[in-house]
Amino acid sequence: MRSEPDDRGGAVGGIDGELPASIDGLTPSTFVAPATAQEVAEVLADAAERGLAVAPVGAGTALALGNPPDRLDLVLSTARLREVIDYEPTDLVLSVGAGARLGDVQTVLAEHGQELPIDPPRGDEATIGGLIATGLAGPRRLAAGTLRDLLIGVAVAHPSGTVTKAGGMVVKNVTGFDLPRIYHGSLGTLGIVVSANFKVLPLPRAEATVTAAAPSWEAAVAAAERLRSSRLDPAALDVMRRDGAWSIGVRLMGREATVGGLADEARALLVGETAVATGAESAAWWRGYTADQAAIAQGDDVVVRISVRPRAVGGLIGSLVRLEEEQEVQVGYLGASVGVGSVVLRLRLAGDNPASRLAALREALLTLADQVVVLAAPSAWKRGFDVWGRPPETIDVMRSLKHQFDPVRVLNPGRFAGRI
Amino acid sequence: MNRTSLVERLEGILGPGGVFHRPSDLLVYEYDGSVDGAVDTALPAAVTLPTTTEQVAAIVRLAHEAGLPVTARGAGTGLSGGAVAQQGGIIVSLTRMDRIVEIDRADRTALVEPGVINLELSETTLPQGYFFAPDPSSQRACTIGGNVAENSGGPHCLKYGVTTNHVLGLEVVLPDGRIVWTGGHADGGPGYDLTAAMVGSEGMLGIVTKALVRLTPAPEATLVLLAAFGDVDAASHATSRVIGAGIVPAALELMDALTIQAVEPAYHAGYPLDAGAVLLIEIDGVVEDVRALGEEIAAICREAGATEVRSATAQAERDLLWKGRKMALAAMGRLAPNYYLHDTVVPRSKLPATLHRVDEISRHFDLPIANVFHAGDGNLHPLMLFDRRRAGDVERVLEASKEILHYCVEVGGALSGEHGIGTEKRDYVTLVYSADDLAAMAGIKNSFDPAGCFNPEKLFPKGYMCGEVRALRAQAMAQKLGIYAF
Amino acid sequence: MAVAVEAQGNLLRLAGYSGHDVPEDDLLRACVHCGMCLPSCPTYRLTGQEMSSPRGRLWLMKSVADGRLDLLDPIFDEQMYQCLNCRACEAVCPSGVHYGPLVEAARSQLEQHRPRPFWQRAVRGLAMGWLFGETKRLRALVGGLRFYQRTRLDRAVRRTGVLRLLRMEELEAMLPPVARRALVPGRERWTADDGGRSVRLFNGCVMGTVFADTNRAAARVVARNGAAVDLPVGQQCCGALHVHAGMMDEARTLARRNIDAFEASGDDPVVVTAAGCGAALKEYGYLLKDDPDYADRGARFSARVRDVTEYLAEGDLVPPPRAVRRTVTYQEPCHLVHAQRISTQPRKLLRAVRGLTLIEMKESSLCCGSAGVYNLIRKEMADDLGDRKARHAIETTATEVITANPGCAMQLRASLGRNGSTAHVRHVVELLDEAYGGPRTKPAVGGESRR
Ligand SMILES: Cc1cc2nc3c(=O)[nH]c(=O)nc-3n(C[C@H](O)[C@H](O)[C@H](O)COP(=O)(O)OP(=O)(O)OC[C@H]3O[C@@H](n4cnc5c(N)ncnc54)[C@H](O)[C@@H]3O)c2cc1C
Ligand code: SF4
Ligand code: SF4
């Protein structure tokens, strides 16, 4: 079934949230919000036939992510695909439309004492489809993994006009290639995820967060290492610098009776003043801490994610501190997931010609780590390089993958790694 | 290239000890662990036993040049015919690439060659407090390469996830002979997740020559509960109650009466012989939690009608309880000369109904069917017992398995939870996937292996990949539009 | 671009099984080729090749039965004899495949149908038939060996390099100092400390000669634990070497003579100090199953057989009075752990010795490469296994490697020496005997006291 012609022409009623006026400075001529998976496919087929470029959009919380698009004609919102398609609490599985917001999904799950154990920055507002496309994750990935680990099935609309499914509604499935995980993190360049199935988990019965100030980054990293090698098995463990001060946060989950004791043990492993937050306060603390990691460009903010092997995080933080002085960047925020090996910086570039200074900073960072992604920056500054970092040696396989799924480059042309 | 020069060139790469080509030497490479009758055997033209990645690449380049099929082989314990060279060609056996290259405790990773045996990796790292979580029942024999290719699971996948959740990166020889890495120590690498594509690809996209896998810290405490029930229904009900209580055990396995009768006399694991079903539930974590959760689960089981609940904490006792479970499949040889099993997954809530249906099918076809399976994640292993020398037995088994597969798919299940599709189930794939769905899978295949030489005749239904190479209809459209641009 | 590959498998005129000792079809088909046995197989571990695995060998046997592989194809001969017959595969097979009898039958088929060069037949006939066929002859030969060692002739001979020429250097390296006197059935007896039980000791060919003192130690320990020990006259070599070599007729002849010799002693346990002999004796029932006169008698005899460690561990061991402060490691003989499934018993006995520290070595149940006469005919594979074993033993820092089989003892001796270790190799009962005070504290009756 085709969507009404005038649906394509502009804003459609019933969609909450802001519609993006532009993506990296390019303004779409058309905006559509299909109501069904089939409609999405038809829009794509139509675009393919007419040679239009389509940018799928969820809640628009990570539109800054990616290279500036080569072309942009049509923005396709998934906002109307937001129903809970199937939820079997006893089976611990959920099927939900791509336009559903994570926060709403978590509310539905919480009624049955369950959750998706993920905490992407500003994730509550983000849509499921957007989270799959960007693959962005938060500190809880240390113990619980990412959405990739929970994804068990998808339905995807393709520029060929078809809707395909892969995986299913069972938690274990090796029927064919693992397409759901291939779509994860593909920035919508292979197809538009219209719905997704997840394995969900029981909510932890209790949680606590212990935080402590640290005199230096060395002290913070050392404390984190102690916690990581203890028996505590933290749900998240981050070292951070905010407003110039180093601190450490550890999140513990378990039974009511246990968590308090674990928190005490954590405090014993930390030095100096500690604070403990429990329950909703604990979760809120992490939401607050990660908000600055979101791929949202505020003013002239630049957000960069640097990933190294976990053992190298301490060294990386040290190098970043030195680099900060050398390159005269003002890092307002640094958040490091220690056991994961990922560091996110939110920074400002002082002086003139910020675009070339950003390019220089990025080059400098690439000497420190293999993976450097500029998550957000003013559009104009992003044109000189690939925000995803160096293209991998498998880029030709990736190109042919793209060619198999989207031969005329309808979907987000140019925005993904290697300007795919 | 004729046969002689093929062999000569292979020997040039590997030395004479690394190539088998005489027909009688090839005989033992015509099978894998899959059941006679369900998978045809097939002879390769040559078998190679490389010891380095470069050798693998050279073999693949040679095959590529000659247009010969290539089939990777690990320990050959696969149950879907994956390692059988259906179109002949070259088998690349990875058993001589069995070094553990690096264990990094700080990163909690191990870099291993593909021929490393699953259990031996864990045995090597356990003294340092870590283990490799995927634990297929075949773990004492199967290789990490095979695990990656089949995305293998095991009892402990309920809590820890399957192989794909534990693979960080892979060194791969692509079908054109190039050596590349996907993923790596640091995550967040740019581009598509080719590691995800490789895991579970049944040797159809490339040969894994090194795997960087995650090591999991050994839990502080572990407890195994054995709960006996009057019948399978009560046991499945208890399973739902445990999960419903918000507990995720490390493992939750169910064995029915027939299985108990096969296993108990052989291993004396202590399963009550008069029980209709037993649940084996393992919990692990910090000491306080394990103790308390153990009591909670025991109470739930009793409420759900358990006739007996026992617990084991000492390693030896736990091992004994597990041994019966791990050996169950292969111990079926004691009940009947042959067995055949499926590996379907159904939503947990559909377990009781599915088990009833299996029971009906068992009676209808007059085939004893034992059930031993991963109840926690709904992964069934209905085991049909038969004697292939008895006329009609094989046919009845295949008919019965068709019915089981159909039913499981009907209730929203999957064809395979861990063993893969291979040749065994490829003609059933259309039960779950439409032509369009398959076209998307073919898209993956085509982008890695456009010539279709890697492990042909697997996964896609018979005839699907021959002739015109299929892909998404988009391709046809692209041609129509004459656009090939990037 | 497809390569033209000639059609395969069209072998003409295939010889299948015929004659006696055909590998039993039912046993063969029990293998479901699951592969669970692969990692336990020493030859597979070393080569990584499927034909050198239990599953591969069973598939080859099945292929001959199915007429797909010629009995005389070189791969069949190669694989049936590359197999160590260590039975590790059998012990781990979840489907209960009886591998041992199958490979033995397959070898028998080769013996019956394979043309062998004259000299090979002559040597085999001489060694296996003549020498081991009558214990007296072996005793005489071993007597000569002892003379050779005692007179220091060995050093002189070694200097000449003639051993290397005859490729007997390894054989010599394996030989422990030969016992002063062979143990001759009927000549020595041991009375029990108390209690009226009695057991019959199976002497064996190598044990009764080269390792005669080990047998004496075993007898003393058994006597210490309440059973009188004697050795029935007329007993012969157990025939294990013959069975392993596929010389089934010779093996059956020996088996019948042993059954005759032991039948006179009623139902008393037959205690064995060599794991290889024990395994063979326990299978007399099977070996003679088609012999109407001996089938039942063989089974009854087999039921009486106990490895000495098995026998001692059955009851409560009289606590050995002396402490032995030493670190040891235990190497499991294949024919004890795999063929007889005896694994905890020797350890239990070792733990009964005060002061003793037992450190387990890695892969303690992987074959050491001895496997009867395997180390003589397949030196390379045997050496690889021996080196692997020696490395694991050396890692434990033990000063003694304890085992329970003469073949293993000799192989271990040579391997440890080659790898620069000075560790001694001893039998479980020798260590126990030491803890009980050895021969001096408990003078035995009969031969030993007549010394
Ligand atoms: C008794 C028994 C119990 C089992 N239990 C389980 C279980 O609990 N869970 C489970 O998941 N499976 C189980 N299996 C199935 C099997 O053991 C697994 O699929 C295992 O991962 C296969 O490993 P392998 O080394 O034997 O691979 P093989 O059988 O040799 O090969 C399997 C597939 O992997 C490919 N492959 C092998 N190595 C490579 C490589 N390096 N690169 C690319 N492709 C490669 C092959 O081409 C083939 O398609 C069981 C099997 C048996 C016999
Ligand atoms: S011998 Fe036993 S373990 Fe080995 S493949 Fe056959 S059935 Fe499996
Ligand atoms: S007897 Fe030993 S060497 Fe022979 S196949 Fe079995 S495990 Fe391998």
DSSP string, B423-454: TTTGGGHHHH--HHHHHHHHHHHHHH-TT--B
Q: How far apart are the C-alpha atoms of A185 and A188, rounded to whole Å?
A: 8
Report how far residue B473's alpha carbon sits from residue C208's, in angstroms, rounded to the nearest whole number. 81
CA distance A199 to B158: 11
Residues within 8 A of A (CB atoms), B 143-182 only: 150-151, 153, 157, 161-162, 164-165, 174, 180-182
Convert the pLDDT of each residue in A68-103 to its tens digit. Answer: 999 999 999 999 999 999 999 989 999 999 999 999
State whether B87 and B153 are in the same domain.
no
Confidence grade of residue C440 (pLDDT, cut at 50, 70, 90)? low
Give the gap in angstroms from C-alpha B188 to the nearest C-alpha of chain A: 6
Structural domain total, chain B: 4
Interchain pair A173, B416: CB under 8 A: yes
Tokens matching residue A316: 């990386």
Task: Give the mean pLDDT of C333-360.
Answer: 93
Provide the CATH number for the domain around residue B233: 3.30.70.2190
Q: How confident is the model at residue C164 (pLDDT cuts 50, 70, 90)?
A: low
Q: Which residues contact C36 (CB under 8 A, 6 or more apart)?
A: B77, B138, B140, B141, B330, C92, C93, C94
List the structure tokens of A58. 């969820």
Q: CA distances (Å), A191 to each of A334, A394, A409, C39, C181, in order? A: 34, 20, 11, 45, 87
Say how many Å lie between the CA of residue A394 and the centre of ligand 3. Answer: 44
What distance separates the 2 farthest-apart alpha carbons in chain B? 71
Give the minimum alpha-carbon distance from C74 to chain B in angstroms, rounded to a whole number: 9
Q: How far is B413 from chain A (nearest CA, A)?
A: 6
β partners of residue A329? A349
Q: How far apart are CA C191 and CA C442, in angstroms?
A: 11
CA distance C299 to C281: 10
Cα atoms in the 13 Å half-sphere on the side-chain side of B194: 31
Q: Which of residues 429-468 of B touch C (CB under 8 A)?
A: none
Q: Give CATH superfamily name and number for C4-113.
A: Alpha-helical ferredoxin (1.10.1060.10)
Contacts of B174 in chain A (CB under 8 A): 397
**Which tokens is C301 given?**
């005899």
Q: Let me know: does C245 contact C121? Beta carbons within 8 Å.
A: no
Same domain, B183 and B136: yes
Report which of B210, B213, B122 is spatially closest to residue B162, judged by C-alpha positions.
Answer: B213
What is the spatial order of strands in the sheet that B369-373 belongs to?
B308-312, B221-229, B277-285, B251-256, B369-373, B382-386, B338-341
Q: What is the rounded average pLDDT of the residues A251-265?
A: 94
Contact C236, C280 (CB under 8 A): no
Q: What is the pLDDT of residue C9?
A: 44
User: What is the end-to-end Cα distance of chain A in Å, rounded?
Assistant: 30
The two tokens of residue A22 are 């532009």
Question: 3-state SS of chain C?
Answer: CCCCCCCCCCCCCCCCCCCCCCCCHHHHHCCCCCCCCHHHCHHHHHHCCHHHCHHHHHHHHHHHHCCCCCCCCHHHHHHHHHCCCCCHHHHHCCCCCCHHHHHHHHHHHHHHHCCCCHHHHHHHHHHHHHHHHCHHHHHHHHHHHHHHHHCCHHHHHHHHCHHHHCCCHHHHHHCCCCCCCCCCCCCEEECCCCCCEEEEEECCHHHHHCCHHHHHHHHHHHHHCCEEEECCCCCCCCCHHHHHCCCHHHHHHHHHHHHHHHHCCCCCCEEECCHHHHHHHCCHHHHCCCCCCCHHHHHHHHHHEEEHHHHHHHCCCCCCCCCCCEEEEECCCHHHHCCCCCCHHHHHHHHCCCCEEECCCCCCCCCCCCCCCHHHHCHHHHHHHHHHHHHHHHHCCCCEEEECCHHHHHHHHHHHHHCCCCCEEEEHHHHHHHHCCHHHHCCCCEHHHHC
Rounded to an integer, what distance in angstroms lies between the CA atom of residue B19 and that of residue B45?
11
Kind and range of the H or E run holding B106 = none
Q: Which residues of chain A have a CB within 8 Å of the CB of B349? A: 88, 90-91
What is the model's pLDDT at position B478? Answer: 45
The pLDDT of residue B154? 92
Yes or no, beta carbons of A168 and B412 under 8 Å apart? yes
Place of tokens 């001096």: C440
In the structure encoding, which two tokens stand for residue C115, read together? Answer: 């043309």
**Radius of gyration from C-alpha coordinates of chain B:** 23
**Distance (Å, rounded) from C-alpha B477 to C-alpha A40?**
18
B215 Cα–ligand 2 center, Å: 30
C35 and B75: CB-CB below 8 Å?
A: yes
B415 contact A CB<8A: yes
User: Does the beta carbon of C334 lie inside 6 Å of ligand 3?
Assistant: no
Q: Is the pLDDT of residue C6 over 50?
A: no
A111-148 per-position pLDDT tens digit: 999 999 999 999 999 999 999 999 999 999 999 999 99
Atom of ligand 3 nearest to the CA of C57: 5
CA distance C413 to B303: 61
pLDDT digits (tens, 9 = 90+) for A301-313: 999 999 999 999 9
Radius of gyration of chain C (CA): 22
Mean pLDDT over C97-105 rounds to: 93
User: Is B376 within the bounds of a domain?
Assistant: no
Evaluate if residue C126 carries a pLDDT over 80.
Answer: no
* Overall size of chain A counted in residues: 420
Q: Is B61 exposed, middle or buried (CB count within 10 Å of its CB: 0-12, 13-18, 19+)?
A: middle
Chain B neighbors of C37, CB-CB under 8 A = 141
Residues 6+ apart with CB under 8 A from A285: A209, A211, A249, A277
Structural domains of chain A, ranges and CATH numbers in brackets = 10-202 (3.30.465.10), 206-292 (3.30.70.2190), 294-382 (3.30.70.260)
> Does the structural domain C189-313 have CATH classification 1.20.1050?
yes
Alpha-carbon gap, residue B193 to B286, rounded angstroms: 34
Is the model's pLDDT at C442 over the cut of 50? no
CB contact under 8 A, B472 and A408: no
pTM of the complete model:
0.91
Extended strands (E) in A296-411: 302-307, 329-337, 342-349, 371-376
- C-proximal residues of B, 123-142, CB under 8 Å: 138, 140-142
> Terminus-to-terminus CA distance in chain B, angstroms?
36
Chain B residue numbers with beta carbons less than 8 Å from the beta carbon of A415 are none
Radius of gyration for the alpha carbons in chain A, expressed in angstroms and rounded = 22
ipTM of predicted complex? 0.94
Residue A46's Cβ-side half-sphere holds a number of Cα atoms within 13 Å equal to 15
- Please, is B431 exposed, middle or buried when counting C-beta atoms within 10 Å of its C-beta (0-12, 13-18, 19+)? middle
Helix (H) or strand (E) holding B384: strand B382-386
Residue C19, CA distances (Å) to A271, C109, C110, C287 in order? 83, 8, 11, 16
The answer to whether the CB of C388 is under 6 A from ligand 3 is no
Chain A residue numbers with beta carbons less than 8 Å from the beta carbon of B432 are: 168, 175
Q: Are residues B213 and B223 in the same domain?
A: no
Residues with CB under 6 A from ligand 2: C 31-37, 54-55, 58, 89, 93, 95, 97
Domain C318-445 class?
A: alpha beta
pLDDT at C447: 39
* Distance (Å, whole) CA B442 – CA B449: 10
Lowest-confidence region among A200-204, B203-207, C174-178, C280-284: C174-178
Alpha-carbon torsion (C160, C165, C171, C173), positive or negative: positive
**Residue A265 DSSP class:** H
Residue C437 zone, left/alpha/beta (φ > 0; ψ -120 to 50; rest): left
Q: Which residue has the tokens 């979840």?
A: C94
* Burial C340-358, CB ≥16 within 10 A → b, else e: bebbebbbebbebbeebeb
Amino acid, res. B327: M
Q: Cα of C38 to ligand 3 centre, how many Å?
A: 9
C275-325 per-position pLDDT tens digit: 999 999 999 999 999 999 999 999 999 999 999 999 999 988 999 999 999
* Confidence band of A318 (pLDDT split at 50, 70, 90): very high
Give how far A178 is from chain B: nearest CA, Å.
6
Domain boundary among B291, B311, B335: B335
Residue B30 located in a structural domain = yes
pLDDT at B323: 87
Taking the C-alpha atoms of residue A119 and residue B181, their distance in angstroms, rounded to an integer, is 29
Question: Which residue, judged by its Cα, is nearest atom 6 of ligand 2?
Answer: C31
Q: Which residues of C touch B3 (CB under 8 A)?
A: 3-6
Verify whether the Cβ–Cβ distance A399 to B164 is below 8 Å.
Answer: no
Residue A226, Cβ density class (10 Å: 0-12 exposed, 13-18 middle, ≥19 buried):
middle
What subunits make at least 3 CB pairs under 8 angstroms with C? B
Would you call B320 helix, strand, or coil by DSSP? helix
Residue C155 has pLDDT above 70, yes or no: no
Domain, as residue range, for B442: 433-483
Q: Counting atoms of ligand 2 from 1, which one is nearest the CA of C99?
A: 1
3-state secondary structure of B148: helix
Contact B454, B431 (CB under 8 A): no
Q: Does the structure show a pLDDT above 80 at C7? A: no
Euclidean distance between the first and the last CA atom of chain C, given in angstroms as a whole number? 84
If we measure between CA atoms, which residue out of B292, B179, B275, B161 comes closest to residue B227?
B275
For ligand 2, atom 8: residue with the closest CA: C34
Atom of ligand 2 nearest to the CA of C32: 7
In this predicted model, what pLDDT tens digit does every residue of C130-144 receive, in sequence order?
777 777 777 777 777
User: For chain B, which ranges sit under pLDDT 50?
Assistant: 467-486
Q: Of B302, B335, B368, which marks where a domain is finished?
A: B335
> Has residue C450 got a pLDDT over 60?
no
In DSSP terms, A206 is beta-bridged to A254
CB contact under 8 A, A170 and B191: no
For residue C8, the model assigns a pLDDT of 43
Closest residue of chain B to C49, computed from CA coordinates: B95
Ligand 1 midpoint to CA B77 (Å): 5
Least confident span in A70-79, B229-238, C153-162, C417-426: C153-162
Nearest CA to ligand 2 atom 7: C31
What are the boundaries of each domain within chain C?
4-113, 189-313, 318-445
Put simply, the answer to whether B286 touches A179 (Cβ < 8 Å) is no
CA distance A338 to C345: 50
Predicted pLDDT of residue C325: 93
- The reply to whether B223 and B207 lie within a common domain is no
Query: B293, A255: Cβ pair inside 8 Å?
Result: yes
Q: Give the CATH number of the domain where residue B21 resides.
A: 3.30.43.10
Q: Residue B283, Cβ neighbours under 10 Å: how many?
A: 27
Cα three-residue angle B9-B11-B12, rounded to 5 degrees: 60
Cβ–Cβ of C3/B45 closer than 8 Å? yes
Q: Do chains A and C touch (3 or more CB pairs under 8 A)?
A: no
Q: What are residue C264's phi and psi, to 5 degrees? A: -60, -25
Strand pairing of B100-104 and B109-112? antiparallel
- Pairing relationship of beta strands A74-77 and A30-32 according to DSSP bridges: parallel
Q: Which atom of ligand 1 is nearest to the CA of B155?
A: 8
CB A398, CB B194: distance < 8 Å: yes
Cβ–Cβ gap C48/B23 under 8 Å: no
Q: Give the domain-ending residue among B188, B217, B246.
A: B217
Q: Residue C162 — very low, low, confident or very high, per pLDDT cuts 50/70/90?
A: low
